[in-house]
Amino acid sequence: MIYHVIRFTPKPGLSQDQVDAALEKMREANRAMTPPVVRSAVGRDFGGEFEYAAVSVMEDLDAYEEMMNHPAHLEVDRIGLPLVDTFMSFDISDGMDPEVGERIAAIHRRRFESRPDIAELVSDIGEYTGSAAPGRHGTRRAPAAPESGRAGPGRLRR
């Protein structure tokens, strides 16, 4: 299973109605993406520096790539990303493949290369940390797996 997590804070000056409408659009998109999304949650982020968060769960990397490129996900990106001030994305896998981090980053790179409008929207976010961050946020490779064969940290940072 792969757990795709995003955390974000809206831009200052947005009304709560605007934020609530965007959150509902995210929930609708997750329902529209079933499958490849097998479970999801969208709501308040407690205990951190972000105001909201969402998690989407997929069975495998094929489902993950399908979700990342699903029309409902792309629509949420096009509507929601312009409203975001700070954003973080990361992924958790319960598998033991030490290459999964790089494979996830490759999915994001292909997505950004094939959809320059999405890459531009992500690049325009004030602060972004995540998988294969495009533009001024930079791109880093996934951390190498330690000698023990256990996967290293799954978060890719700028």
Residues of the chain with pLDDT under 50: 139-158
Domains and CATH numbers, the chain: 2-137 (3.30.70.100)
pLDDT score of 154: 38
Residues 80, 30 contacting (CB under 8 angstroms): no
Q: What is the pLDDT of residues 93-103, one digit of tens each?
A: 999 899 999 99
pLDDT score of 132: 66
Q: What angle do CA 47, 103, 138 make, to 5 degrees?
A: 65
pLDDT score of 152: 37
pLDDT score of 54: 97
pLDDT score of 90: 93
Does pTM surpass 0.85?
no
Calpha distance 15→11 (Å, rounded): 10
